[in-house]
Structure 1
Amino acid sequence: MTTCAYATFDDGPQHDDELALVLAAWRAAGIEGRAERWDDPAADWSAYDAVVVRSVWDYVPRRAEFLAWARRVERSARLLNPLAVIEANTDKTYLRDLPSVPTHWSSRGLPDWPEYVVKPAISAGARDTARTRDRDEAAALAAALEAGGRTPMVQPYLDMVETEGETSLLYFNRRFSHAVRRTPMLSAAATSADLARAETRTPAADQVELAERVLDTVAGPLLYARVDLVRLPDGSPAVIELELTEPYLYLRHDPGAPAAFTKALAELL
């Protein structure tokens, strides 16, 4: 029987509501799955046919340690997504090469925008992210990130995030599975519980075209990918993030998604 590890930051189902859903889908397909904390020194990763990186949501302040773990795992088991993908994707400077939301990468010379979003290039879940209308405050926030040795990202806040919303397109083994409209995490009413809240959405043709064009820039196998898009003021779609490391997959929003995820894993193995 094929055995796979589900790498997480905490193996309790209360911390990851997709864990039990995935393990059940794997079991139905003849894949024996087990949740393992990625930083558990007792875990034997070589005992698995594959290690699937999932809810490793505490990696951000420990990125070097996390990447060292991924290197060790890839020497003894199939790592999905692969190390090269994870290493590039955990630093959002990858957005420089994509048709993304306009981004200023310094605390100096900020563009004159009505409202700013400031965040570090290595972050997850809107951690250390701020929104302000004050250009000087935005510059100060970016400077504080630089002082801490972090690369700042300064972007315009887009009202379309709260009207049309962010659209996330989910792909398993590069095949489209489903899409959702995500709760805007920087809206005044948003809370941490909003991470998993979304509604099913049928993406427009231009969004699908952009998402697949972006995925074509990534070499190698991709068990999962989440492409987060928003529309710019001129109506064109742009990438907010390309999530290839530990994205929430919104599996409960599409009845066929757990099986599609499992089929993709079986294909790659």
Structure 2
Amino acid sequence: MKVVLASCAALPEGDGDEDGLVEVLLRDGVDVVWQPWGEAVDADLVVLRTTWDYPERLDEFLAWCESVPALVNPLPVVRWNTDKSYLVELAARGVAVVPTAVVEPGENPDFPGGEFVVKPAIGAGSRGAGRFTDHAEARAHLEALGVRALVQPYQSSVDAHGETAMVFFEGEYSHSFHKGPMLAQGLAESESGLYVEEKLRGIEPTERQIELADQALDVAAELLSLSRKDFLYARVDVVEGENGEPLLLELELTEPSLGLKHTSEDAASRLSAAIRRTASR
């Protein structure tokens, strides 16, 4: 069995989070290699991982994904999930989502009161995200982006409590990790050029957070006419709303960091088993 972990030219062997996974896959008898996306692939399964330069080349990326015979997560998931406008669809189906407005290029949005976030609808690693109170600065940022964007009220609880990222394999909960606040006033800064550095640590989610994650996955699967088990991996990022209840910030189904370095080795074993089951179907 040969499995390719898809990366990008800037991170040809990932960012280190999957090092333990590679060791487990090799132990489990899988011929696993890293390969930047865009190249021809000969493998039983291609797993999208650190393909984080695709936002500027989305059409090319999607065409490559379509050329891959066995891709996870599958192409319909990638097409839907690479545009964060999916949050509006989830909210319309009753999922508790951070209030989200989609702004097309050239539109003049009605910004929320207080602090708010502006970020590209198609983006990875928080690149291009900014936190504002000044409407003129936010409009200038939208103009500079020149692409479809999201506008969301900033959730002040993030400053104190950060985000909780819950990871699922084949629709089943695996583990969680905590993400510290990343956005100071102004634009998020990226040392690598691909993603904003995050402060991560393991954490146990609350029952309400798990319930919200389950609902988000169920609704996404329904929208895509799939089963939750069709998502090899999923990461559900939630924050605390003003009333203390969790709100969905993002549902990551394309290329999320899975926080494998911040949990037990059992998580890599669970993902290896899921990869082997998927590749053998």
Counterpart check, 1:242 vs 2:239: no
Q: Secondary structure at the match of 2:165?
A: strand
Distance in 2 of aligned mates of 1:182 and 1:195: 10
How far residue 159 of structure 1 moved from its aligned partner, in angstroms, is 1.2
The match for 1:169 is 166
Could you tell me whether the CA contact under 8 Å between 2:115 and 2:133 is conserved in 1? yes
Of 179-188 and 235-244, deviating more is: 179-188
Superposed CA RMSD: 2.0
CA pair 177-195 structure 1, distance change in 2 beyond 3 A: farther
Counterpart check, 1:153 vs 2:163: no
Could you tell me whether the CA contact under 8 Å between 1:60 and 1:124 is conserved in 2? yes
Equivalent position amino acid for 2:38 in 1? D
Equivalent position amino acid for 2:72 in 1? L
Distance in 2 of aligned mates of 1:141 and 1:187: 15
The match for 1:86 is 78
Could you tell me whether the CA contact under 8 Å between 2:127 and 2:190 is conserved in 1? no
Distance in 1 of aligned mates of 2:236 and 2:214: 9
Distance in 1 of aligned mates of 2:160 and 2:19: 33
Counterpart check, 1:72 vs 2:81: no
Distance in 1 of aligned mates of 2:87 and 2:71: 23
Distance in 1 of aligned mates of 2:242 and 2:143: 28
How far residue 196 of structure 1 moved from its aligned partner, in angstroms, is 5.0
Give aligned-pair identity as a percent: 38
Could you tell me whether the CA contact under 8 Å between 1:169 and 1:203 is conserved in 2? yes
Distance in 2 of aligned mates of 1:9 and 1:257: 24
Could you tell me whether the CA contact under 8 Å between 2:18 and 2:260 is conserved in 1? no
Equivalent position amino acid for 2:204 in 1? T
How far residue 109 of structure 1 moved from its aligned partner, in angstroms, is 4.5
Distance in 1 of aligned mates of 2:135 and 2:245: 26
The match for 2:213 is 211
Equivalent position amino acid for 1:22 in 2? L
Distance in 2 of aligned mates of 1:129 and 1:208: 26
Equivalent position amino acid for 2:214 in 1? E
Distance in 1 of aligned mates of 2:101 and 2:80: 19
Equivalent position amino acid for 2:21 in 1? V
The match for 2:57 is 62
Of 104-113 and 53-62, deviating more is: 104-113
Distance in 1 of aligned mates of 2:28 and 2:198: 26
The match for 1:258 is 268
What is the TM-score of this pair, normalised by structure 2? 0.85
Distance in 1 of aligned mates of 2:144 and 2:232: 36
Q: What is the number of equivalent residue pairs in this alignment?
A: 257
Q: Secondary structure at the match of 1:227?
A: strand
Counterpart check, 1:225 vs 2:234: yes
Counterpart check, 1:21 vs 2:23: no
Of 233-242 and 179-188, deviating more is: 179-188
The match for 2:123 is 123
Distance in 2 of aligned mates of 1:129 and 1:191: 9
Q: Secondary structure at the match of 1:139?
A: helix
Could you tell me whether the CA contact under 8 Å between 1:110 and 1:135 is conserved in 2? no
Unaligned residue ranges in structure 2 (runs of 5+): 91-95
Q: Secondary structure at the match of 1:195?
A: coil
Per-residue CA deviation, residues 159-199 of structure 1 (Å, 9 max, x unaligned), is 111111100000111111111110222136x8647635311
CA pair 35-21 structure 1, distance change in 2 beyond 3 A: same
Unaligned residue ranges in structure 1 (runs of 5+): none
